[in-house]
Amino acid sequence: MAYTVPFVNPREHYRRYQAELEAAMIGALAQGDLIMRGQLREFEQNLARFVGCRHVVGVASGYHALHLSLLAAGVGPGDEVVTVAHTFVATISAIVNCGASPVLVDVRDDYDMDCGALEAAITPRTRAVLPVHLNGRVSDMAAIGDICSRRGLLIIEDAAQAIGATFGGRQAGTFGRAGCFSFFPFKILGGFGDGGAVATDDEAIALAIRRLRYNGEDRDTGEYHYHGFSALLDNVQAAVLDVKLRHLPSWIEHRRRIAQRYTAALAGVGDLRLPPADDADRRDIFQNYVIRTSRRDALRAHLRSSGIETLVHWPKPVWEHLGLRLGEHRLPNTEAICREVISLPMSAETTDRDVELAAAAIRGFFGD
């Protein structure tokens, strides 16, 4: 159906940046620059400068960023990796596909890892912790960093949803041994297909990922060091992302302003719980604007019939997908969040009018 207020608006997005994007894409294609050429290197350098790290390695997706980071850090069979249950399945699949065991812990009301649960989940086999900066807000990296340094654990960050978000002035993706970004089309920095990157200060990790993404080959010597993967970030995608990176700061500002408008319009309505506010440490980039209500499914149906498109991230706890064989869990916050969350329209193209329409429909639903 055609929504009056779409969740995202890729056509309008393309229209706005068409000239710049086509110049970059056609430039790469016309020169025959398809694989590991200047566009990829330039994007990696520009992103490293933006994030404030020494190395960025472009890969085929956010999933690959996580998988290859864990492999490069030596995580493998017999190791446990602690992460949150309330995340996209790729976070967990990356751990499983290294041969390691994911240990799922609950989140707090603000969707961030419960650090008490993290401490309790650590065993002699725990090798790494994988915090997820969900919805565009960085995890409590002071507390997680403190636990990991006391217990000798590696941190790999899932920053797929949080490029440009900060904690204590530091960028998401710079707290761990490696930080993993996704350029899936509807991410804040989205390509025209799958894409991802790893940020790291660790030369050895960067080198290993450069090899792993290219079937294990060292490009300088031709030596195959591992059984690797075909997992490059394509040159044309890199050229697109380099154009978009220049606009990222203004898109972050836009999303923060849209989020403020939602918050002003929805405060005190029904039983709604709004996203956590920024605190002294955090600057949220609002990849998603997520609200909670005990009447989620009815609200979603009402918004749909009012022409407002929404999404639910995610309607059932990941371990209830039995094919994933994650075992049984009892994680009350994760379970409640899956029942209650709904994500409102949010993108660089979301307008004030979109917010007004969505907020009016929500207030109408609650009889406010």
Ligand X SMILES: Cc1ncc(COP(=O)(O)O)c(C=O)c1O
Which residues contact ligand X by CB under 6 A?
61-63, 87-88, 90-91, 132, 158, 160-161, 182, 184, 194, 196
CB of 182 to ligand X, least distance (A): 3
Query: Closest approach of Cβ 174 to ligand X, in Å?
Result: 17
- To ligand X, the closest distance from the beta carbon of 84 in angstroms equals 9
Respond yes or no on whether the N-terminal peptide bond of residue 314 is cis (omega within 30° of 0).
yes
Provide, rounded to whole angstroms, the least separation between the CB of residue 261 and ligand X.
Answer: 24
Q: Point out which residues pair with 224 in neighbouring strands.
A: 217
Q: Give me the phi and psi of 13, to 5 degrees please.
A: -60, -45
Give Cα 63 distance to the centre of its chain. 10
Contact indicator for 345, 358 with CB cutoff of 8 Å: yes
Q: List strand residue ranges (DSSP E) for the chain, in order.
A: 55-59, 80-84, 101-105, 126-130, 154-158, 166-167, 170-171, 178-182, 196-200, 282-283, 289-292, 341-344
| Residue labelled with tokens 């204590």 | 168
**Helix (H/G/I), strand (E/B), else coil: 203:** helix
Smallest gap from Cβ 61 to ligand X, in A, equals 3
Which single residue brings its beta carbon nearest to ligand X?
A: 62
Q: How far is the CB of 56 from ligand X (least distance, A)?
A: 15
352-365 and 296-305 helices, crossing angle to 10° = 120
| CB of 94 or CB of 272, closer to ligand X | 94
Cβ proximity to ligand X, 182 vs 347, nearer residue: 182
Q: Min. distance of Cβ 270 from ligand X in angstroms? A: 28
**Of residues 184 and 262, the one with the C-beta less far from ligand X:** 184
Q: Phi then psi for 77, rounded to 5 degrees?
A: -55, 140
User: At 115, which amino acid appears?
Assistant: C
Of 166 and 182, CB closest to ligand X: 182
**What's the CA gap between 98 and 79, in Å, rounded?**
9
- Name residue 256's amino acid: R
43 neighbors 236 (Cβ within 8 angstroms):
no
